[in-house]
Amino acid sequence: MTLETTALLLVLGAPAAATLTLFLFPRRLQLAARWLAGGAAALSLAAMFSLIPALQRGEVPAIALNWVPAAGIQFALHIDWLTLPFAITEGAVTLLAVIYAWGSEANDERAPYFYGLLLLFAVGMAGTTLADGMVLFYTFWELMLLASCALILVWGHTSGSGPSRRVVALKYFIFTHLGSLMVLVALVILYNATGTDRFSVLRAGVTLVPGLATTVITLFIIGFCIKMAIFPLHIWLPDAHTVAPMPVTIMLAAAMLSMGAYGILRFPMSLFTMEQMQPFAVPMMLLGVLSEIYGALMALAERDIKRIIAYSSVSQMGYILYGMGTLTYNGIAGATLHVIYHAIVKALLFMIVGIVVYVTGKRNINEVGGLARRMPVVTACAAIGIMAIIAMPPLCVFDSEWMIFAGGLETPYVTLSVITIFGSLLTVAYALWFGSRIFLGKDPTETMPGPVSDRTPARAQLPPAMVAPTVLLAALAIIEGIFPAPLFDWVAHELPMLLGGRW
């Protein structure tokens, strides 16, 4: 076994082993659960980075073990340039979410189970990206759903007027599992037509009758768009993001949504040709524009600060789908970069929302304000996050949106491209309103009647574990905007693997 295969196994093995240990010895590990989870997440992320030199040498680290020999199915893992950006993103988000949980969640007797499920959620996402077979891909895909659903069901936070966490968990499970079943049907059709479930074999060419190819591509796109929460398939997202505990919300918004984008790139756009994908270009671009505008309008209409950022995710996923739908070099590269940059900025904004709720005990935007005086560091981070989400240069999202817009203008559908560009003004509107109202507006508690004790913040001190990852993400938003070349180099390597590599 080489160092590369050992690292590949460690990406999944470290969090999986920590999960098993936490589940088996919850009482003994109650106080150490957070450290064990953080260490496992850090080790998994380090293993991912250790595989980059092998990719740069032109190698494809892989391992394959017999799993279901009678059906020709193996437990096969690999990492390539298409996998790398998504794997690194979910690994980094997991580590930061675990650290954030150290300060934001009660570390009581259930802590080992909470951290164990967080890591199991991460195993599902990492396995989805590393799988080199359709059966294994789908197994990890469903594991991702089960772990995240359990976290919402057991640890979800609900307000008095909102739906219960049981209702939200059920809704989340049904809608996203419906998308999974569509993906499953497409996978079975491919397996029956080719006799193999290995991606590396399928990429050599898939021959299907024209009508069947169209059916398979349609199933893939709809199924993965549900996971991306593209309008009108987004119904599960606002409640799930709002009710989930904040570390889970961070992982849902900044990492899991990108698994839908990965699925579209890994399957229809890797297995089929430019000619076969061309009929889907306009529908993908149109759905992207609609999702962008609808999500932004709903963010403007919302008053729950967590739901505002949740709807922002619907809008931002629209940019990604639009970029992929252009079927151009710039559009697809920009969409992949936007996955990474969206993870940075969305995790940052949700962490800020978590801090606001932690300090004030309120989520209604009309009941909070004037926080800049109390939290100058958090306010500075919020300003960076807000400027980044509206794509102000030199912050990171500007780079990816520039490429997405450029890709759109290379297509014959200039009208859609113009709508997309001017639709981004809605992002400016909700982001500036969100930031100015919370941090620069008047503090409503200053004019509230009643004893002073009733008007003080819920908590005055911020745990360092909540502030540190927030500051780090704000710094990353600046660094990745100014120095995008390394990430762009990763993304540029994926393009020859898509649509026959004809660029």
Q: How far apart are the C-alpha atoms of 154 and 403, rounded to whole Å?
A: 41
| pLDDT computed for residue 161 by the predictor | 67
| pLDDT computed for residue 315 by the predictor | 96
Domain extent, residue 387, equals 279-503
| pLDDT computed for residue 456 by the predictor | 43
Q: Is residue 377 part of a domain?
A: yes
| pLDDT computed for residue 326 by the predictor | 96
Q: Is residue 327 part of a domain?
A: yes
Cα–Cα separations (whole angstroms), residue 86 to 47, 451, 456, 490: 14, 51, 42, 11
| pLDDT computed for residue 500 by the predictor | 76
**Across 255-263, average pLDDT:** 94
Task: With a cut of 90, say whether residue 83 has pLDDT above it.
Answer: yes
**Across 283-301, average pLDDT:** 96
| Tens-digit pLDDT profile for residues 436-457 | 999 987 777 665 555 544 444 4
Q: Is residue 300 part of a domain?
A: yes
Task: With a cut of 90, say whether residue 211 has pLDDT above it.
Answer: no
Q: What dihedral do alpha carbons 247, 252, 254, 255 form, nearest 10°?
A: 110
Task: With a cut of 80, say whether residue 108 has pLDDT above it.
Answer: no
Q: Is residue 466 part of a domain?
A: yes
| Tens-digit pLDDT profile for residues 356-411 | 999 998 889 999 988 998 899 999 999 999 999 999 999 999 999 999 999 999 99
Number of H-type helices and E-type strands within the chain? 22, 2
pLDDT band at 503 (very low <50, low <70, confident <90, very high): low
| pLDDT computed for residue 453 by the predictor | 45
pLDDT band at 349 (very low <50, low <70, confident <90, very high): very high
**How many domains are there within the chain?**
1
Q: How far apart are the C-alpha atoms of 181 and 142, rounded to whole Å?
A: 10
Q: In degrees, to the nearest 5, what angle opens at C-alpha 144 toward C-alphas 338 and 220?
A: 60
Percentage of the chain exceeding pLDDT 70: 95
- Residue 192 falls in which region: left (phi positive, over 0), alpha (psi -120 to 50) or beta: alpha
| pLDDT computed for residue 183 by the predictor | 96
| pLDDT computed for residue 69 by the predictor | 79
Q: Is residue 480 part of a domain?
A: yes
Q: Is residue 294 part of a domain?
A: yes
Per-chain mean pLDDT for the chain: 91
| Tens-digit pLDDT profile for residues 464-501 | 999 999 999 999 999 999 999 989 998 999 888 888 77
- Residue 196 falls in which region: left (phi positive, over 0), alpha (psi -120 to 50) or beta: beta
Q: Is residue 49 part of a domain?
A: no
Q: Is residue 312 part of a domain?
A: yes
